[in-house]
Structure 1
Amino acid sequence: MYDQKLANPGPVGLMGFGMTTVLLNLHNAGFIPFTSVILSMGLIFGGLAQVIAGLLEYKKGNTFGLTAFMSYGCFWLSLVAILVLPQLGWAAPSGPVVMGIYLALWGVFTLFMFLGTLFSSYALRFVFASLTLLFALLAYGNISGSAAVIRFAGFEGILCGASAIYLAMAEVINEQWGRRALPLGEAETAR
């Protein structure tokens, strides 16, 4: 028997989250229309790829990674279902208040996940802090019916998604180069 080094599934999950988040929030900010590109990205890269990354984090024994990627993968899958099922006639459309409650629940979950990052890198903390803020803004914007808040959330969401893309690429490049080429803001290890 030999020691087998497992690859890090985190960058795939982070890219699935980051790229999909940027794309959807380009729409929320008013830069692009809502099209099948956003739905497809949410279904495949935001949903499926993150679920797979979560399963691989399970194999590595990483409870945080498992919980994050499986949960946010299911967020994207459920969001696509929320948007598509009414179009197929399989469910009634959700009103803005119900959508706001859905987003608020994800915000509460994300706040707790953020607390789990407090001994991690500053880059990971930023991803979860900005995601918590994004869910809060989107929840408030939907419940209040404020297009301005949703548009502002779009700009904040672009920043959130971009931070996840940076973290993913920093992990890949740092591993490939065998050194810290892209800083992550390493945290104190003492707990």
Structure 2
Amino acid sequence: MDNAMTANPAPLGLMGFGMTTILLNIHNAGFFPISAMILAMGIFYGGAAQIIAGIMEFKKGNTFGFTAFTSYGFFWLTLVFIIMAPKLGLAEATPHAFMGWYLLVWGLFTFFMFLGTAGKSPVLRFIFGSLVILFLLLAIRDWTGSEFIGMVAGFEGIICGASACYLGMAEVLHAAQSKKVLPY
């Protein structure tokens, strides 16, 4: 199948990332506890949908999209597993200081992905730049135990997730109307 004739998988990946990020960060901001709703979004929309979008980007020859969507899809699956494994008796809980390192590694990965956004859409650059900041804030929260930093990270994460949803919907509307409806 010709790549020009295939659908753009990026909106699916962006919405999976964005909506799941918003919901987790409403929790991080202190509005509600982790629940089945966040975990289900992490497995199915943040996880599986992004992996599907990544595989579709692979088929289109987009190394950046493939790497981003599949990596962050698996981020969501690993995060849910880290949360659920102790509750299921599969592993011991991860201490907060160790989670800080997990988040830092993802922040470093995201920093390099941010470098890959040079020359791309300003909204895409914002998404990756704000995600670097989010991972660093969450790592600092876990290393220090600061609820305030966790709350700040939560609000910053809501903005990051909303920017991904914006770009996803801008691309959907562009495809549906055959013109740019929202700037991106």
- What's the TM-score bracket when you normalise by the shorter of the two chains? over 0.9
The offset of 1:11, in angstroms, is 0.3
Measured in 2, the distance between the counterparts of 1:180 and 1:9 equals: 17
Deviation per CA, 1:89-108: give whole Å up to 9, x if none.
Answer: 11010000000000000000
Measured in 2, the distance between the counterparts of 1:33 and 1:92 equals: 20
Measured in 1, the distance between the counterparts of 2:52 and 2:80 equals: 17
Q: Which one-letter code corresponds to 1:130 in the other structure? A: S
Gaps of 5+ in 1: 185-191
Given that 2:26 and 2:154 are in contact with CA atoms closer than 8 Å, whether structure 1 keeps it comes out as yes
The offset of 1:33, in angstroms, is 2.1
Measured in 1, the distance between the counterparts of 2:81 and 2:133 equals: 24
Percent of aligned positions with the same letter in both sequences?
A: 57
Q: TM-score, normalised by structure 1?
A: 0.94
Question: What is the aligned partner in structure 1 of residue 183 from structure 2?
Answer: 183
Q: Which one-letter code corresponds to 1:134 in the other structure? A: L
1:41–1:3 distance in 2 versus 1, CA, 3 Å: closer
Question: What is the aligned partner in structure 2 of residue 103 from structure 1?
Answer: 103
Deviation per CA, 1:143-180: give whole Å up to 9, x if none.
Answer: 11111101110000000000000000000001111111
Deviation per CA, 1:107-146: give whole Å up to 9, x if none.
Answer: 0000000000011000100000000000000001101111
Aligned residues between the structures: 184
RMSD in angstroms over aligned alpha carbons?
Answer: 1.2
Question: What is the aligned partner in structure 2 of residue 18 from structure 1?
Answer: 18
Measured in 1, the distance between the counterparts of 2:74 and 2:4 equals: 29
Which structure 1 residue ranges, 4+ long, deviate > 3 Å from structure 2?
A: 1-4
Question: What is the aligned partner in structure 2 of residue 135 from structure 1?
Answer: 135
Deviation per CA, 1:67-103: give whole Å up to 9, x if none.
Answer: 0000000000000000000111110100000000000
Q: Which one-letter code corresponds to 1:122 in the other structure? A: P
Q: TM-score, normalised by structure 2?
A: 0.97
Question: What SS does structure 1 have at the residue aligned with 2:5?
Answer: coil
The offset of 1:43, in angstroms, is 0.5
Structure 1 residues 7-156: aligned runs within 5 Å = 7-156=7-156
Moved more, 3-12 or 116-125: 3-12
